[in-house]
Chain A
Amino acid sequence: MVTLADDLRGLLGDFAVRDDPVERRAKARDCWPRLTMRERAGETLPMPDVVVRPLTTDEVVAVYCYATEHRVPVTPYAGGSGVVGGAVATSGGICLDLSGLTGLVELDPVSGTATFRAGTPGPVAEDAAAAHGFTIGHFPSSIMCSTVGGWVAARGAGQLSTRYGKAEDMVVALEVVLPTGEVWRTRPAPRTAAGPDLWRLLAGAEGTLGTITEVTLRLHAAPAERRFGGWLFPDLRAGVEALRLVMRTGARPAVVRLYDELDTSIVLGGQGLDVGPGALLVAAVEGDPRLVAAEEEIIREVCASAQELGPGPGEHWWSHRYAVSANLPRVLAGQLLGPHGVADTIEVSALWSALPGLYDAMKASMAPHVAVVLAHVSHCYPEGASIYWTIATDAADEAEAMRRYDAAWHAAMTACLDHGGSIGHHHGVGVARAPWLAAELGTGHDVLRRVKAALDPAGIANPGKLGL
């Protein structure tokens, strides 16, 4: 009997196709904590039927043409760094492993742009830019395993996004393979008025409308200087107001992170940075020394009423900025909060006017379900910012752990929608946020459905994600 894997081997060759259980199981989860918890509980997760690793855009086209003709689901997967289940083949079918599409295609030093194949890992892309005196400026916690295409597909944000923007702000052009097999290359331009920015449909679509195969990113001059600062505010609200004032001046610091009182005490205190009670703001400014000096002066002036702590807290954050991402999962591994420990992060965003109320409401909503609820405000814009929640708790058994986890998420999403927030800032939707996306988008979700129906008539492109 000819199998799906046999058919795909006929298209791409033996080396590109694997259907052994070990490889399929390796692709059964991304970094979504709920999947880790299910595995921990002994559950066998849904797996793709076959893993296909194309090396060219033409091979991606061949996979999609086959999949559409035979109505086989296709789930793109590159680094598997997502934390909302977006890369999980919940309907089986083909796992489209994009890690073979890697490398710098072209760098334009005059314009400051670089084109990467979609599966290029973050460190490789950043080092390629650095070799020419540039930085991409995208440093997510997942940089070691995330890829350029994934950044755009899920609209990620790095730790320096306040200065360099989110992934979608970095895009100059895309190459996309549509579910029906057409290759769509958008025209690189700084900005255009030639109709709507259609490529934006693909940013955040998480593979539901096709697969990104190449990305042209805008680059920035590598920073010549970086300076750190730290201030202690009596509470989060006072700090939020300072952030707002900084951003309204037009300053674009690389980092402004305001930790609530608990985050300041537990996380930073746990790392050995004891600054006393209050809400800690760490800041970093970088770039041309003249701009650095000006931005530093602005921040210092705005924060004059707070306790200035010098560069220490910022330098501490810089040197520990990946520690939380590495240590938080240790809860799920049963290493920190007992064998059934639960931990996750939930990031939302809101306008400045809604942000303090949203913070209070979300915290109150999650508190009954988990032992620890803490947050920091970061990824700032002139009109608002992100709140990045960390939740953790112990539990008596796996069933209770899952109950608490699900209840906290439900409470958080509901409170966010009720208090004027957006349910996700940069982790995407995947499966985790899918139940609330229709409420978030309103009529827009129906628009998305219609676009999906037009571009993906067979419904094979990452089914089950984004509530589609």
Chain B
Amino acid sequence: MTGLPRTIAQRKLLPGPAETTTHRDALPPLADDPLALAPVCASCPKLCAPTCPVQGATGRESVAPWRISAVVRDSARDGWRPETLHAAASCTGCGACTHACLPGVRLPEQSRAARAAAAAEGVLLPAAATMRDRITTTGSPRPADAYADEFAAGAVPTAGTALFFGCTVQTHRAEVGRAAKALADAAGETVRCAAGEICCGAAAADLGLADETVALAESCADQLAGVEQVVVLSPGCARMMRDYWPRLGIAAPRVVTSVEWLDTLLAGGGLQPREPDGVAVAWHDPCTLARLLGVVDAPRRVLAALGLAVREPAATGLHTRCSGGGQAYPAVDATGAAAVAERRRAELAVLASPVVSACPQAERMLSGDAEPVRDILEVAAERLLGPRE
């Protein structure tokens, strides 16, 4: 009887997300002038307002997408100050607002470019100053002793497929890296580990360090020279390589996310699917993976091939909600990031199932004390290879 759409999203009051990312049309990520990422906010009736996880969690109008855009506009004219930079950097880069914005403001890119513009004026985020010092002295964005030993130097790939671990896996989620290696071994894939102090540059870009971004990315690209395909364990790194490296004039191998890699292995017989056994998991779509890279169906196919039933939260797929961990937001406002994560954690808790994702950073943000959020690589290794020591 009631065939009409019910929710606001179904009624298309909010424009639906594009099927695949539109962000690849963005201008260079570290443009000198953030306004080059125009149009800036046109002061519409704040179509972005209900989409922003940061505004929703903190209740602050100053970090609403429309307001950040205005801050960028004003700061381009008046110069940057620490407090305006803090506001402009209070964006997780989740991209939810960009799909609601009819004039087409791309706030994640604008926020990132704003950080670079401020840095060019000598106004740095506190975390950026620390990272700049570290890169200057060590060449690495993270402390050397933060990297898991097992991924240390000597594992640089020279051909074929490379597993690219990224900073978060190496410094906080080594078990995800181990699972990836185990799965590759089981699939008979000859892979090399792009590990050690290799950074794609995203960490520096998120903090507005333009020169450091280019240096890190070029160094990373050099170490991947000859590799045909790179399997990237963090969506943020994948996006950096796939979407931003070309705009920096840096050639990348074929970039594949870990989910897409698993999907291919399971479909092609490299890994044998498993029959369903009644186990259910809740799936959290990472914003970058789903909304910015357009990888939505693959993780569901993978989970099904692992014999798992998938429970979806209310905000899922292209409409997924942020974990608070993107675009260095935890370094900008740890309290705000925790509040964003808590809201998403509550949405997932309703499903009463173990939560699985495919973004090591999101997994860190969403993991509770009692129930860690696991990566799809860990789950795949456990389901297909059995429990590991």
Interface residue B343 (Cβ < 8 Å from any Cβ of A)? no
B83 CB contacts on chain A under 8 angstroms:
20-22
Whether B47 sits at the interface, judged by CB under 8 Å, is yes
User: Contact: B61 with A36, CB < 8 Å?
Assistant: no
Q: How many residues of A contact B (CB 8 A)?
A: 54
Residues of B contacting A194 with CB < 8 Å?
Answer: none
Residues of B within 8 A of A139 (CB): 13
Give bound CA distance, A25 to B70, whole Å.
11
Q: Mark A1-32, 1 if CB is under 8 A from B, else 0.
A: 00000000000000000101111011100010
CB-contact partner of A26 in B49, B67, B100, under 8 A? B67
Q: Are A144 and B41 in contact (CB under 8 A)?
A: no
Q: Are B61 and A326 in contact (CB under 8 A)?
A: no
Instruction: For the complex formed, measure the closest distance between the CB of B67 and the CB atoms of chain A, giving whole angstroms.
Output: 5
With a cutoff of 8 Å between Cβ atoms, the chain A residues found around residue B45 in the complex are: 31, 81, 141-146, 325-326
The answer to the question of A109 belonging to the interface, with a C-beta cut-off of 8 Å to chain B, is no
List which B30-70 residues lie within 8 A (CB) of chain A: 39-50, 59-62, 64, 67, 70
* B71-90 vs A, Cβ < 8 Å mask (1 yes, 0 no): 10000010000011011000
A255 shortest CB reach to chain B, Å: 14
CB of A130 closer than 8 Å to a CB of B? yes
- B103, A18: Cβ atoms under 8 Å? no
Interface status of B102 (Cβ within 8 A of chain A): yes
Establish whether residues A333 and B12, one from each chain, have CB atoms under 8 Å apart when the complex forms: no
Once the chains bind, are A322 and B87 in contact (CB under 8 Å)?
no
User: Is A126 in contact with chain B by the CB < 8 A criterion?
Assistant: yes
Q: List A127-149 residues whose CB lies under 8 Å from chain B.
A: 127, 130-131, 133, 139, 141-146
Interface hit among A219-227, A274-282, A399-407: A219-227
Q: Which residues of B contact A286 (CB under 8 A)?
A: 4
Contacts A26-B64, A333-B41; A133 near B2 (Cβ below 8 A) = yes
Q: Tell me whether B12 and A319 are in contact (CB under 8 A).
A: yes
Residues of A within 8 A of B1 (CB): 224
B340-379 to A contact mask, C-beta < 8 Å, 1/0: 0000000000000000000000000000000000000000
In the complex, which residues of chain B have a beta carbon less than 8 angstroms from the beta carbon of A141? Answer: 45
A79 at the interface (CB under 8 A from B): yes
- Contact of A326 with B4 in the complex, beta carbons under 8 Å: no
Q: Are B61 and A222 in contact (CB under 8 A)?
A: no
User: Please, what's the 1-or-0 string for A54-89, where 1 marks a CB less than 8 Å from any CB in chain B?
Assistant: 000000000000000000000000011100000000
In the complex, A329 Cα to B1 Cα: how many Å? 39
Please name all residues of chain B whose beta carbon is closer than 8 Å to the beta carbon of A326 when the two chains form the complex: 42, 44-45, 47, 102-103
Say yes or no: is A168 at the interface (Cβ < 8 Å to chain B). no
The answer to whether A144 and B14 have CB atoms under 8 Å apart is: yes
Query: Are B13 and A322 closer than 8 Å at their CB atoms?
Result: yes
A327:B103 contact, CB within 8 angstroms: yes
Contact of A327 among B6, B59, B102 (CB under 8 A): B102
Q: Mark B1-38, 1 if CB is under 8 A from A, else 0.
A: 11110111000111000000000000000000000000
Question: Could you tell me the distance in whole angstroms from the C-beta of A162 to the nearest C-beta in chain B?
Answer: 18
**Residues in B whose Cβ lies below 8 Å from that of A42:** 77
Beta-carbon contact of A322 and B84 below 8 Å: no
Q: How far is the CA of A330 from the CA of B86 in the complex (A)?
A: 27
Which A294-353 residues have C-beta < 8 A from chain B?
A: 319, 322-323, 325-330, 332-333, 335
The answer to whether B4 and A80 touch across the interface, beta carbons within 8 angstroms, is no
Instruction: Give chain B interface residues in 217-264, CB to chain A under 8 Å.
Output: none
Determine if A18 and B50 form an interchain contact, defined as CB atoms under 8 angstroms apart: no
A144-B100 contact in complex given A22-B84, A23-B62, A325-B44, C-beta closer than 8 Å: yes
B331 to chain A, nearest CB (A): 18
CB B46 to nearest CB in A, in angstroms, measures 4
Is the beta-carbon distance between A144 and B43 smaller than 8 angstroms? Answer: no
Residue A99 at the B interface, CB < 8 A? yes
**Per a CB cutoff under 8 Å, which of A97, A126, A223, A322 touches B47?**
A322
Select B59's contact among A100, A124, A146, A323, beta carbons within 8 Å. A100
User: Bound complex: CA of A81 vs CA of B42, how far in Å?
Assistant: 14
Tell me whether A163 is interfacial, beta carbon within 8 Å: no
B102 adjacent to A26 (CB under 8 Å): no
Contact A18 B60 (CB under 8 A): yes
How far is B179's CA from A252's CA once the two chains are assembled, in angstroms? 63
Flag whether A425 is at the interface (Cβ < 8 A): no
The reply to whether the CB of A53 lies closer than 8 angstroms to some CB of chain B is yes
Q: A27-B61, A99-B59, A332-B43 are in contact. Are A144 and B50 (CB under 8 A)?
A: yes
A224-B14 in contact given A18-B60, A141-B45, A142-B45 (Cβ < 8 Å): no
CB-based contact A126/B8 at 8 Å: yes
Kindly report which residue of chain B lies nearest to residue A24, judged by CB atoms: B62
Instruction: Determine the distance from Cα of A223 to Cα of B103 in the docked complex, in whole angstroms.
Output: 31
Given contacts A27-B61, A97-B59, A142-B45, contact A127 B4 (CB under 8 A): no
- Which partner residue on chain A sits nearest B38 by CB separation? A335
Establish whether residues B59 and A127, one from each chain, have CB atoms under 8 Å apart when the complex forms: no
**B102 partner residues in chain A, CB cutoff 8 A:** 322-323, 326-327
Q: Mark B residues whose CB is within 8 Å of A.
A: 1-4, 6-8, 12-14, 39-50, 59-62, 64, 67, 70-71, 77, 83-84, 86-87, 100, 102-103
24 residue pairs of the A-B complex, CB under 8 angstroms, read A21-B83, A22-B62, A26-B62, A51-B61, A81-B46, A97-B61, A99-B59, A100-B59, A123-B50, A130-B7, A141-B45, A143-B8, A143-B13, A144-B47, A145-B45, A222-B4, A319-B12, A322-B47, A325-B44, A326-B44, A326-B47, A330-B39, A333-B41, A335-B42
Q: Which 5 A-B pairs give the minimum distances between C-beta atoms?
A: A145-B46, A326-B102, A145-B49, A333-B42, A26-B62
Extra pairs beyond A23-B61, A127-B6 (20, CB < 8 Å): A20-B62, A22-B62, A22-B71, A25-B62, A97-B59, A123-B8, A133-B2, A141-B45, A143-B13, A144-B49, A144-B50, A222-B6, A224-B1, A226-B4, A326-B42, A326-B44, A326-B103, A327-B103, A333-B103, A335-B39
Question: Which residues of A approach B to under 8 Å, CB–CB?
Answer: 18, 20-23, 25-27, 31, 33, 36, 39, 42, 51, 53, 79-81, 97, 99-100, 121, 123-124, 126-127, 130-131, 133, 139, 141-146, 222-226, 286, 319, 322-323, 325-330, 332-333, 335
